[in-house]
Chain A
Amino acid sequence: MNDSKQVVLMKGTQEGITVYLDDECSFEQLLNVLNKKLENSNKEDRTELILHSQYRYLRAEQKEDIREIIENSSSYRIKQFQSYVLTSDEVTKQVNNMSVRPAIRNVRSGQVHQVEGDALILGDINPGGLVMATGNVYVFGKLRGIAHAGTNGNKECVIVASYMNPSQLRIANKISRSPDYDVEGSNREFAYINLENDMIEVEKVNYLPKVRPNLIDRLERGIENG
């Protein structure tokens, strides 16, 4: 048994109490120690914990076991699981979602262009055409059809077009459409969800850094990955 090292170590951090779980002992031992260590804690306490499993990968059912023990034997609540390790599936998914996917094409009526990550289209999206991306949508051409950004539900995503005259804009689960009368489109605009009123709004591209300051970092990273 690994006595020299504490199996469960609680530390106060900026985010609250983080519980570091040893990653070399067996899972059963870990559960035992957790149970013992936490069962004496004050029942009135509603503190939320962050569980850090370090280099141990916890499967979903293992997380459930831990959650059960902690929430049955103590008054602590688990706020979040953290870990240094990810499965290759998770990594692939994250990389995919961060990548910029370029395409040189026109998305014509009846066509659907669907990507994981950010969609970068060097061409037009014509009326009746649809672009879907789990990330942002960038159109270096005329956006006259439908663009859907953040299809997985990410409300931070934006739609940028060098000419914006869409029939519909969709971000996460929000939809906005253009008015029933004919409108002239405008150049270099982007659409985003205003998180204050939860509505899709359209602004000139120069406002983009104000509205989504992190976008450039993400974009640079995405280009490296893609």
Chain B
Amino acid sequence: MGEAIVITSGKGGVGKSTTTANIGTALALKDQKVCLVDTDIGLRNLDVVLGLENRIIFNIVDVIDGNCKLQTALVKDKRFDCMHLLPAAQTNDKNDITAEAMKDLIEQLKPDYDYILIDCPAGIEQGFSNAVAGADKAIVVTTPEKSSVRDADRIVGLLEKEGLNDPHLIINRIRKHMIDSGDMLSVDDIVSTLSIDLLGVILDDEDVIKASHHGEPVAFQPNTKASISYRNIARRILGESVPLMSFDEEKGFMSKVKKIFGMKS
């Protein structure tokens, strides 16, 4: 029986879809059966990040409306046999499905997968309710900006109301030099404000943008900083205890990375 994890943020543009795609990829690299569910109906882009846009025939609304079987709508990833995508519809909008229908759908997926990652749309309206309806756990993505942390805080409160206590936190797009100069919130500041468990931090890295431009999740690359961060997050989801990468000094960072590889092989 799989575990459904919703990836949400409240604010738009903080990297929910990128995070979903990369955690999915990193879990697939660990031979986990993963299903990515895009619930951003009307503004889908998880398929684009994964480079699967051209393969979509049916979508989540078709499944819920009974136009096709669930298995028919699932798109197999081009890199992994064990990763599938259930794409969102582009022509409908969020009010065309209900939270109950979404919950049933996730329940149907659970027996066939180890992890079901639900990509939540921005906002706190119907789309959010739909996305969290079937989830067992939640991951909140934020960037080190005040507005984003504020929205994340709101989302944590709403998740608690939905019964999703203890969500985990991913801090995306960290710029070390800006934190050092005091122009950006530090990891500690954010964790202390939100007071939820930190699952991982991801540096602001051009490789992430490049990778999603080419429709290939960065986690697939062997040794960029971002890909290591995402793979560490996947390992933490699987229950391994992996220390946080230190951004304090480049030297320390590299030695940590080497240490992680040393431990792995």
Contact = CB atoms under 8 A, between A and B. Distances in A.
Nearest to A145: B153
B195 A106 contact: yes
B150 A128 contact: yes
A144 B193 contact: yes
Interface in B175-228: 192-195
Contacts of A108: 153-154, 156-157
B157 A109 contact: yes
A111 B157 contact: yes
A222 interface: no
A139 to B, nearest CB: 14
Residue in B153, B157, B194 whose Cβ sees the most chain A Cβ within 10 Å:
B153
A127 interface: yes
Interface string A89-120: 00000000000000000101111000000000
Contacts of A129: 153
Interface in B144-158: 150-151, 153-154, 156-158
Given A126-B153, A128-B154, 11 more contacts: A106-B195, A108-B153, A108-B156, A109-B151, A109-B154, A110-B154, A110-B157, A124-B193, A126-B194, A142-B192, A144-B193
Closest 7 CB pairs of A and B: A108-B157, A109-B154, A109-B153, A110-B154, A108-B153, A111-B157, A126-B153
Contacts of B192: 142
14 contacts: A108-B154, A108-B156, A108-B157, A109-B150, A109-B153, A109-B157, A110-B158, A111-B157, A123-B195, A124-B193, A124-B195, A126-B193, A127-B193, A144-B193
Q: Please classify how large the interface on chain A is, using the bins under 10, 10 to 19, 20 to 34, 35 or more.
A: 10 to 19
Contacts of A128: 150, 153-154
Nearest to B196: A106
A123 to B, nearest CB: 8
Interface of A: 106, 108-111, 123-124, 126-129, 142, 144
A214 B14 CA distance: 50
A176 to B, nearest CB: 21
Contacts, number: 29
Contacts of A142: 192
Contacts of B195: 106, 123-124
Contacts of B194: 126
B238 to A, nearest CB: 28
A123 B153 CA distance: 14
Interface of B: 150-151, 153-154, 156-158, 192-195
A32 B150 CA distance: 67
A152 B192 CA distance: 33
Contacts of B153: 108-109, 126-129
A127 B190 CA distance: 12
Given A106-B195, A144-B193, A127 B150 contact: yes
Nearest to A108: B157
A126 B192 CA distance: 10
A211 B195 CA distance: 33
Contacts of B158: 110
Nearest to A107: B157
A126 B156 CA distance: 11
Contacts of A144: 193
A128 B156 CA distance: 13
A154 B192 CA distance: 33
Contacts of A126: 153, 193-194
A31 B193 CA distance: 64
A90 B154 CA distance: 37
A144 B158 CA distance: 19
A64 B188 CA distance: 63
A108 B154 CA distance: 6
Contacts of A106: 195
A127 B154 CA distance: 10
A14 B252 CA distance: 79
A167 to B, nearest CB: 11
Residue in B151, B156, B158, B193 whose Cβ sees the most chain A Cβ within 10 Å:
B193
A106 B192 CA distance: 11
Nearest to B192: A142
A48 B221 CA distance: 88
B13 to A, nearest CB: 18
Nearest to B159: A108
Contacts of A111: 157
A120 to B, nearest CB: 18
